[in-house]
Structure 1
């Protein structure tokens, strides 16, 4: 259900029971579900990229250095150069037909399918929409629209299977910031990490089986590549690294494979401090030097294909493997709008809506 579809129509308003005759009509009480994804620039030009990167890199959950130290570097150096490089990366994967990023296209379709299933089961008392932590549609605009449509209870669903401060926490932060500004707050629940959910793991395993079945010779190693975080986050209590390692193990067990056939690595490192590793771009090159001729890479931390998967993995990391002597590189797409993925999201949502539906 697209954002514009959640606006209440006059027929959806009624005078509350036991209210006086002159009481204004109010929206019929509903339950809202908001899928929250990372974000997307509105376009690939310099200023669109700069606005997006400024919002992203100014988030204290993403870069937690003191503002007096970080902001001059960000505004005067990074944001004068980075938008050109990032814009080029986005242009290489841009959905030109709809003039938007693949992340936006895929998240919209996930939302549509989720809404279709839940409406069939629970009727129009459940509204489903999506928002972005950075860019549009903004978290604030979607939550306000949900409230205007009568949603007195909202399930906020960050699309991150593993919990991390720079992803799950910042998405939740933004939702709570909107509540802080509302006179009448809806009740809000947040969906916890779901990397152990059987339906999610089965969808992940199915995607691997289907990709492998389409290859002439199966890959020798499957690399599970997760977005990286500074190692300091692990020491400060962020469970992300541990949950990634467990996801890899659970996926391998679900596939029934031997140890060593699925390996964990991390991508998207920036800045001077030490990050969790190994780095995917280096790890795949090392696999090639070890004599591995065919590998596959999957991204279990991403619910939707985006610049980090379509450009970084399928271009930069692929090139690293081939340049080091590898011969065949297979990318396993994110779960995206697969039916089994949507079924997993439905199962998770319905479980978290316990007592509300």
Structure 2
């Protein structure tokens, strides 16, 4: 989410490109559950290849897998100035807010089953993607799956230490791909995760005498930094929407309102030039184009907090306004997430839909283990490996109002040969 993903009222309380024609391989009749994320089967890595290995690192915000992990998760989250800027008081206010919010957030995770399923789904998605990559990209196999969360286990530093233990870097070289699981880029999410990865790369692999951080024998990194209109992503979203629309009577189906929901951003971040709003809108338009614009639709934004201006309209307000106007058939579509987590299972399912109190207000299934989506991940990764680019051209361009030296240096590092373009 490419956005400010967890700065929500649940955590804060009162404390302050063009879509390609999807091939038939995307149009799978995949099974779909209507409840919580189901337990995934065990998976194994059995790839072989000649020129590998290649480490495939899924980056995401993460979430506490148990209620006992909630406090540490919140402490890291509120201490991240990229995500929630608190200025000079960050080191004091972050832990204070975390302590105050922990009991309530623990209860919310209890209400969705005792923890977030995001680690389970991330590990499953990455492992399954790597199996496909071993088949379609044998020259870069074996592809080894890793997950790096920003605020929960497995943390970025844990992942990096495992890379070194597994034989990457430390004079041995090797290739690793940082694959953001925020399809739409934001400085507060993908940017923050890359800042953390850059920090631990410097700490664990160090600099040579000249201060160079890309010394021979270190891990060679490249980045998949955004993919908002990839055909497979669009197809997976469209399939889940179509499946939910089929639950409505046929004579009402075309009038069901589709409400695409993504995390909001403070207008101060938007006005700085963060690309997230435009990229989310691009995803929505691509999905609606795939659906032949079959239904009326709107894009709305979750989780505005505090007195400052945020990007709107808010999802909760939008649902209630439409229901009060007689539009009681609505499908909520989480458009900036790659799996279920507290924002879908609690905020949308247990707050927004409960408040609407209308049987016609439903939610499209999250991407989770959707085979179409996993195939899309493999396609994105394969294309990246074949192109040999260190990152997208977009990543070399800083936000218009960016003043962060850390952002500048991180972008220069991951841009590699394109670093001269970063200013």
* Fold equivalence (TM over 0.5): yes
Deviation at 1:293, TM superposition (A): 1.4
| TM norm structure 2 | 0.71
8 Å CA contact 2:65, 2:119 repeated in 1: no
8 Å CA contact 1:36, 1:157 repeated in 2: yes
CA distance in 1, matches of 2:382, 2:262: 27
| Residue 353 in structure 1 maps to residue 385 in structure 2 | yes
Selected match of 1:30 from 50, 53, 65: 53
2:360 is matched with 328
CA distance in 1, matches of 2:125, 2:52: 24
- Matched residue SS, 1:354: helix
- Matched residue SS, 1:247: helix
Per mean C-alpha deviation after superposition, the further-off stretch among 215-224 and 174-183 is: 215-224
CA distance in 2, matches of 1:355, 1:327: 48
1:22 is matched with none
Specify which structure has the higher proportion of strand.
1
Deviation at 1:154, TM superposition (A): 0.6
1:198 is matched with 231
- Matched residue SS, 1:256: coil
1:83 is matched with 102
5+ long unaligned stretches in structure 1: 7-11, 13-27
CA distance in 2, matches of 1:42, 1:255: 35
CA distance in 2, matches of 1:329, 1:348: 33
1:231 is matched with 267
Counting matched residue pairs gives: 323
* C-alpha RMSD over aligned residues: 2.4
| Residue 66 in structure 1 maps to residue 87 in structure 2 | yes
1:104 is matched with 119
Deviation at 1:40, TM superposition (A): 1.4
8 Å CA contact 2:78, 2:95 repeated in 1: no
- Matched residue SS, 2:100: helix
**1:1-357 mapped onto 2 (5 Å cutoff):** 30-45=53-68, 48-68=69-89, 70-76=90-96, 78-94=97-113, 100-122=115-137, 124-151=141-168, 152-181=174-203, 182-183=205-206, 184-216=217-249, 218=253, 220-257=256-293, 261-322=296-357, 326-354=358-386
CA distance in 2, matches of 1:273, 1:248: 26
8 Å CA contact 2:61, 2:151 repeated in 1: yes
1:222-251 per-residue CA deviation (whole Å, 9 max, x = no partner) reads 100001111111110101111122222221
- Matched residue SS, 2:298: strand
2:34 is matched with none
CA distance in 2, matches of 1:290, 1:225: 20
CA distance in 1, matches of 2:175, 2:293: 43
Deviation at 1:42, TM superposition (A): 4.3
8 Å CA contact 2:123, 2:147 repeated in 1: yes
Higher relative contact order (CA 8 A, sep 6+): 2
- Matched residue SS, 2:151: strand
Does the C-alpha gap of structure 1 residues 164 and 228 become closer, same or farther in structure 2, counting only changes over 3 Å? same
CA distance in 2, matches of 1:158, 1:268: 22
Deviation at 1:356, TM superposition (A): 5.8
Does the C-alpha gap of structure 1 residues 72 and 149 become closer, same or farther in structure 2, counting only changes over 3 Å? closer
